[in-house]
Amino acid sequence: MQAARGASLSPSDQSSPPSASRPSRRQLVLFGSIAALAYVVDQASKMVAVDRLADGRTVEVVGEYLQLHLTFNPGAAFSLGTSYTVVLSFVAIAATVAVLWTARRLGSTLWAVGLGFLLAGVTGNLTDRLFREPGPLRGHVVDFFMFPNFPVFNVADICINIAAGIVILQAVRGIRVDGLRHDEADRADRTEAP
């Protein structure tokens, strides 16, 4: 009876990984864990920076190559768009929703890591925009890591850059969020087409 049921399945049904139809629990847990941990590290580091660097001093960590200096950034990365803080807040809200929506299809461990870092970075800076001065949606992002000749940044920015690197790597490798290669997904789509 079971053999007959197995025989009635099409080849595409037998070869499709579970991730093609629903997200893997392991990847969802990994995504959520990375997002939560990185978010906590970002927010805790910002609280320490505001507490310890509020007097305007610069602390050398590795000589002149890595210093800590507190700044409040109303704009995006590299202090771009400083007069569009409210717009940037709504972009961050939309990005958060998009990441959560995309995570429903997770079937790749590397994508889970990348999206986890992306969610942590976007929500870390969004939290500043929502709850810091001068007010909701207009709050300034706390930045404090400083390299020579480079804009001051924070842990959330690091997370976003890690995520960008992983997304680029997965795109080059041809791996979709659900874990399938693009050519495998195309074959599966052609097989399922009437």
pLDDT in tens, 16-73: 444 445 778 999 999 999 999 999 999 999 999 999 999 999 999 999 999 999 999 9
Average pLDDT of the segment spanning 111-117: 98
Return the minimum-mean-pLDDT range out of 15-24, 70-79, 96-105, 167-176: 15-24
Consecutive H or E run containing 109: helix 109-131
Return the minimum-mean-pLDDT range out of 1-10, 60-69, 116-125, 147-156: 1-10
Asked whether the bond before 134 is cis by omega within 30 degrees of 0, the reply is yes
Question: Catalytic residue numbers?
Answer: 143, 157
Do 136 and 130 touch, CB atoms closer than 8 A? yes
Do 124 and 42 touch, CB atoms closer than 8 A? yes
Do 194 and 34 touch, CB atoms closer than 8 A? no
Q: Is the pLDDT of residue 190 over 70?
A: no
| The pLDDT of residue 188 | 60
Of 179 and 16, the structure prediction assigns the larger pLDDT to 179
Burial of 148 (0-12, 13-18, 19+ CB in 10 A): exposed
For residue 58, what are its two tokens? Answer: 């610069």
Confidence of residue 11 (pLDDT cuts 50, 70, 90): very low
| The pLDDT of residue 140 | 95
| The pLDDT of residue 192 | 61
Which residues are registered as beta bridge partners of 142?
A: 72
| The pLDDT of residue 50 | 97
Do 130 and 92 touch, CB atoms closer than 8 A? no
Helix 25-52 / helix 109-131 crossing angle, nearest 10 deg? 40
Do 63 and 48 touch, CB atoms closer than 8 A? no
Question: What pTM value is reported for the model?
Answer: 0.83
For residue 68, what are its two tokens? Answer: 């800590």
Provide φ and ψ at 151, rounded to 5°: -60, 150
| The pLDDT of residue 75 | 86
